[in-house]
Amino acid sequence: MKLNWNLMTKGMRPHGQLRKKLDEKINKLETHLEHFPADATSLQVNLERHPRKESFVAALTLQLPSNTLRAEKSGSDAVTTFDLATKTLLREISVLKSTLRHESQWSR
């Protein structure tokens, strides 16, 4: 599945290491979203650098047919902040998939 995604930056330009991390994490997201229709999913990546402080905000918004998931993290490094936001989004995806499967109602 090919995930449609868009990168928005404010106060910074994405450098090579950040672009590499973006590609890695988006490929990882694609593996977790392979059962959702490709034309109905989209990812919005917002990276913002604070103008006066040395802090970054990474916000990921994932549009799915059934829900909209959002993860936002802030930190002192753009790459690690994006990495933390992606991990949070992956946790939200796993919770959503478990809810859609009704795993809590499965008998053991």
pLDDT tens profile 51-106: 888 899 999 999 998 899 999 999 999 889 999 999 999 999 999 999 988 888 88
What domain range includes position 65? 4-101
User: Has residue 59 been placed in a domain?
Assistant: yes
User: Has residue 108 been placed in a domain?
Assistant: no
* pTM of structure: 0.88
Q: How many domains does the chain have?
A: 1
- Which CATH number do you get for residue 85? 3.30.160.100
For residue 41, give the amino acid letter.
T
In DSSP terms, which residues pair with 33 in a beta bridge? none
Asked if residue 88 lies in contact with residue 73, where contact means CB atoms within 8 angstroms, the answer is: yes
User: Has residue 106 been placed in a domain?
Assistant: no
